[in-house]
């Protein structure tokens, strides 16, 4: 039976404009492992809110056969990368098949459908090249999310961008707006140019969200390699240089997305400032606005905790938090062999392990670290979790360094498998959610939002989304950052000492000696995170501010 698509729910008023949303990763629910980190968490929350609001959206992604990777351990507890095939019975395999051109060869593409009722999302289609019609190289295009082979990464971009546009043709579903959530699907812009033969026509239909100022998220590629692979949809190079303004041999993906989109957005007010500084003087870029990231309150919030908070019963809040901690501590005991106590202050650092997030910041001053974790009067328990890129050997070395540290201290542990399920358990069990990016490097950050929805108090550098939320010592704690113009190792030393001072002189004494004030911060945090940082607000803003395009 031929797969036919019509948008499956009645569209809400004000959301009639059809929008196709292109993203390389989606963190929707634990069983569907099509994500690596924050970009996926954001996209998953967006798709859930689009469903709640009944917006006329369709998500386009890739079905990664081996996911990102499974984070497991070697014999000595250090980290190991496991690529294990994923099988999803809840996805509908469609009979859609078509070819796209990659490096001069036909590659067959099919699509899997995630219906809205499965996980309460807008409809999402996942593309795959793992078909018997393809040779081995063709099949591997959809095997690994963020494959470290640059040629495979280019092929994946063509699959998502051009293949996603072709899929919409096959479905006979005609978007008025195409949303590039990061520049990964940039070949979509060249598909639109070939279809409409005009940059202005592309700008009317294309919008772009940038999620990071980091080089790893702002790809630069050899223009001849991209042309060889068909990234530009066979547009001749002189014409391509004319429409993109790229005269060099190095092709900047983010810059071209900013030139071909009608409107773009950063993901916090601070990030918008950073974007404008980064691209100051660049010719031909579109107008940029800010739409601050958010997380799905419906999905993430601990509603039982909100119920006891609304009853103004501090004893009940404490009891429930201890119950939530015990669930987390079962995971700690299982993975790390440590027995934690529910009346001890618990600090969680859980992030994608990448350099600027500084997982090792507490270890910058080992004398002060030892003093902190050995304090019998105001004891602490510390938990780390996070997944580095499978080929990021520096990130893996950082993880392994903490593994070895945790063998020394029985109140320190590091957990593997930081995905949606563990993320929820960590946020519910944490007293303090620690966020210490190097100042100016965090575009938004979202983990602290969902942590607050679960009764964890944020302690953070005032970067990304955090200044829009925090009232210092009322609903969270601010780490005054070192001067970002200083050398990085000096910044790290200064920020570490400020962090230790805050913990030793303010936060721990408050938790142990003034519990009512601590619980007041917990309550303020939970009450002030909603609705401003619920993704329903964000999804509304995308329709109101971005999807009008350049009109």
Distance CA 178, CA 319 (A): 48
Residues of the chain with pLDDT below 50 are 550-551
Q: In what helix (H) or strand (E) does residue 502 lie, and over which residues does it extend?
A: helix 488-502
Domain 297-533 CATH assignment equals 3.50.50.60: no
Contact 522, 433 (CB under 8 A): no
Task: Quickly count: other Cβ atoms within 10 Å of residue 276's Cβ.
Answer: 12
State phi, psi for 233 to the nearest 5 degrees. 55, 40
Residue 125 tokens, joined: 């289609």
Closest CA to 343 of 496, 472, 518, 506: 518
Contact 22, 60 (CB under 8 A): yes
Contact 94, 114 (CB under 8 A): no
CA torsion, ordered 192, 194, 195, 199, to nearest 10 deg: 60
Distance CA 190, CA 170 (A): 18
Distance CA 225, CA 152 (A): 12
Contact 107, 99 (CB under 8 A): yes
Instruction: Match 């095939």 to its residue by tokens.
Output: 85
Distance CA 51, CA 62 (A): 20
Instruction: Match 């993704």 to its residue by tokens.
Output: 535
State phi, psi for 138 to the nearest 5 degrees. -65, -40
pLDDT attached to residue 212: 87
Domain boundaries, the chain: 19-295+536-546, 297-533
State phi, psi for 137 to the nearest 5 degrees. -65, -40
- The CATH number that domain 19-295+536-546 falls under is 3.40.50.2000
Express the helix, strand and coil content of the chain in percent, nearest 5 each: 45, 20, 40
State phi, psi for 70 to the nearest 5 degrees. -100, 125
Can 19-295+536-546 and 297-533 be said to share one CATH topology?
Answer: yes
Closest CA to 433 of 445, 417, 442: 445
Contact 477, 346 (CB under 8 A): no
- pTM greater than 0.85 (yes/no): yes
Distance CA 345, CA 426 (A): 14
Task: Quickly count: other Cβ atoms within 10 Å of residue 399's Cβ.
Answer: 23
Contact 49, 533 (CB under 8 A): no
Distance CA 158, CA 166 (A): 11
Distance CA 347, CA 344 (A): 10
Closest CA to 260 of 218, 202, 195, 220: 202
Cis check for the bond before 531: say yes or no (omega within 30 of 0): yes
Distance spanning both ends of the chain, measured CA to CA: 41
pLDDT attached to residue 1: 64
SS3 370: helix
pLDDT attached to residue 345: 98
Q: Spell out the alpha helix ranges (H) of 197-302.
A: 199-205, 223-229, 237-244, 253-260, 269-278, 297-300
């Amino acid at each position: 039976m031929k797969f036919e698509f019509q948008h499956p729910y009645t569209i809400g008023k004000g959301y009639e404009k059809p929008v196709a949303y292109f993203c390389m990763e989606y963190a929707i629910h634990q069983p569907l492992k099509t994500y690596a980190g924050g970009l996926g968490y954001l996209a998953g929350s967006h798709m859930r809110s689009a469903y709640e609001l009944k917006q006329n959206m369709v998500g386009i992604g890739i079905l990664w056969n081996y996911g990102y990777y499974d984070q497991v351990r070697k014999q000595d507890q250090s980290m190991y990368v496991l690529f294990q095939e994923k099988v999803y019975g809840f996805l509908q395999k469609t009979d859609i098949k078509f070819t796209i051109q990659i490096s001069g060869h036909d590659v067959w593409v099919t699509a899997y459908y995630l219906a809205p009722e499965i996980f309460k999302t807008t409809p999402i289609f996942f593309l795959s090249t793992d078909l018997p019609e393809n040779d081995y190289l063709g099949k591997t295009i959809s095997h690994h999310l963020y494959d470290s082979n640059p040629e495979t990464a280019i092929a994946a971009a063509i699959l998502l961008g051009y293949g996603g546009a072709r899929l919409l043709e096959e479905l006979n579903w005609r978007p008025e707006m195409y949303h590039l959530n990061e520049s990964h699907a940039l070949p979509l812009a060249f598909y639109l140019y070939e279809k409409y033969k005009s940059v202005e026509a592309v700008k009317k239909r294309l919008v772009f969200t940038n999620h990071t100022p980091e080089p790893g998220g702002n790809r630069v590629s050899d223009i001849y390699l991209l042309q060889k692979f068909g990234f530009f949809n066979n547009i001749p190079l002189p014409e391509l240089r004319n429409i993109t303004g790229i005269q060099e041999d190095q092709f900047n993906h983010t810059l071209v997305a900013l030139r071909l989109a009608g409107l773009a957005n950063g993901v916090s007010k601070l990030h918008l400032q950073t974007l404008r500084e980064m691209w100051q003087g660049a010719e031909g870029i579109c107008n940029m606005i800010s739409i601050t990231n958010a997380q799905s309150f419906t999905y993430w919030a601990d509603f039982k905790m909100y119920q006891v908070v609304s009853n103004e019963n501090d004893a009940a809040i404490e009891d429930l938090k201890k119950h939530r901690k015990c669930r987390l501590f079962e995971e700690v005991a299982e993975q790390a062999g440590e027995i934690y106590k529910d009346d001890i202050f618990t600090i969680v650092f859980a992030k994608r392990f990448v350099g600027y997030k500084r997982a090792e910041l507490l270890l910058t001053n080992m004398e002060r670290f030892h003093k902190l974790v050995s304090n019998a009067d105001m004891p602490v328990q510390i938990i780390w979790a996070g997944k580095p890129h499978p080929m990021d050997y520096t990130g893996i070395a950082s993880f392994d360094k903490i593994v070895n540290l945790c063998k020394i201290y029985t109140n320190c542990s590091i957990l593997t498998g930081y995905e949606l399920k563990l993320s929820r358990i960590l946020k519910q069990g944490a007293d303090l959610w620690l966020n210490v990016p190097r100042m100016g490097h965090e575009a938004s950050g979202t983990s602290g939002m969902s942590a607050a929805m679960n009764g964890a108090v944020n302690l953070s550098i005032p970067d990304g989304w955090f200044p829009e939320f925090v009232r210092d010592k009322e609903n969270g704690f601010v780490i005054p950052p070192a001067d970002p113009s200083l050398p990085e190792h000096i910044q790290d030393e200064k920020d570490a000492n400020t962090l230790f001072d805050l913990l030793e002189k303010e936060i721990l004494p408050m938790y142990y000696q003034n519990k009512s004030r601590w619980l007041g911060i917990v309550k303020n945090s939970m009450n002030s995170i909603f609705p401003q940082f619920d993704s329903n607000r964000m999804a509304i803003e995308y329709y109101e501010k971005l999807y009008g395009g350049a009109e």
